[in-house]
Amino acid sequence: MLDSLQGKRALVTGGSRGLGRAICRALTEAGARVAFTFSRDEEGAAATVAACAPADAEGHRASVLDAAATALLVRALEARWGGLDILVNNAGISQNLPLALLEEEDFDQVMDVNVKGTFLTSKAVLRGMIKRKGGVILNIGSLAGSRTIEAPVHFCASKAAVEGMTRALAKEVARYGIRVNCLAPGLLEDGLGRNLPDHRLAAYVKHCALGRVGAFDEVARFAVFLVSDQCPYLSGATIGMDGGI
């Protein structure tokens, strides 16, 4: 995939750690110019910039729930770069809580960040993509959004909503030459899996054909393919990457 994104301009949400950082690094390694957002973790954002060096990557503090800040950032990037070709909606949160312990505000927070944040950022970026008649949006979903597995109810609901949004949006913007897909990883080396009890992590690995959790870099490299011109006939799809669950 070396140089497969040469000259492309990308925005990644939630790029200060984990999968977001790996995606930023993979995009820059493929030749893209990358900007990423983060909410609070300035130290993590600096680490992402360092991980992408010597390529050009820049971090911007902007919550995906701040529509005004997101729109302002998108306009600024378009003014400097001439447009955005790629959006990766990666920002997301979860809590390992059973339904009985979930408070209403817990449910709202996960749905807001994972679903509303994807909507707000996509809306901000799509205006320019539609005007230029081209672009790619990749939403980061989860195995939990489409399979019956033991996972927090509000997280599963939010990722299922992202899959539905992906299908509907892909149909809506196809006439403008824009592709929209969803990449749905299983458990990865960090993130949600980090806080799982040992018995649940062991059960996942037992039922995984490859016998292990995934690595951020593996998912990030596949994300590069999905947003590249080497994948021109895929849209409206949710691609599972779970090691064979």
The mean pLDDT value for 150-178 works out to 96
Question: CA–CA separation, 214 vs 53, rounded Å?
Answer: 24
Tens of pLDDT, residue by residue over 49-107, are: 999 999 989 999 999 999 999 999 999 999 999 999 999 999 999 888 889 999 999 99
Alpha-helical (H) ranges within the chain are: 18-29, 42-52, 67-81, 104-111, 117-132, 153-173, 198-207, 216-227
Q: Which of 173, 95, 96 is nearest to 128 (CA)?
A: 173
Question: CA–CA separation, 73 vs 42, rounded Å?
Answer: 17
Helix, strand, coil abundance in the chain, percent, nearest 5 = 50, 15, 35
Residue 129 predicted with pLDDT over 70: yes
pLDDT of residue 149: 79
The mean pLDDT value for 104-117 works out to 97
pLDDT of residue 192: 63
Instruction: Give the CATH number of domain 9-188+216-232; options: 3.40.50.720, 3.40.50.970, 3.40.50.200, 3.40.50.1860.
Output: 3.40.50.720
Question: CA–CA separation, 93 vs 39, rounded Å?
Answer: 12
Helix (H, G, I), strand (E, B) or coil at 37: strand
pLDDT of residue 95: 86
Question: CA–CA separation, 243 vs 181, rounded Å?
Answer: 19
The mean pLDDT value for 121-132 works out to 98
pLDDT of residue 151: 83
Question: CA–CA separation, 238 vs 53, rounded Å?
Answer: 31
Domain ranges across the chain: 9-188+216-232
Tens of pLDDT, residue by residue over 14-29, are: 999 999 999 999 999 9
pLDDT of residue 195: 66
Tens of pLDDT, residue by residue over 172-230, are: 999 999 999 999 999 998 766 666 778 888 888 999 999 999 999 999 999 999 999 99
- Residue 42 backbone phi and psi in degrees, to 5: -65, -35
Pick 207 or 123 by higher pLDDT: 123
Strand 86-89, strand 9-12: pairing: parallel
Residue 58: both structure tokens together: 């820049």
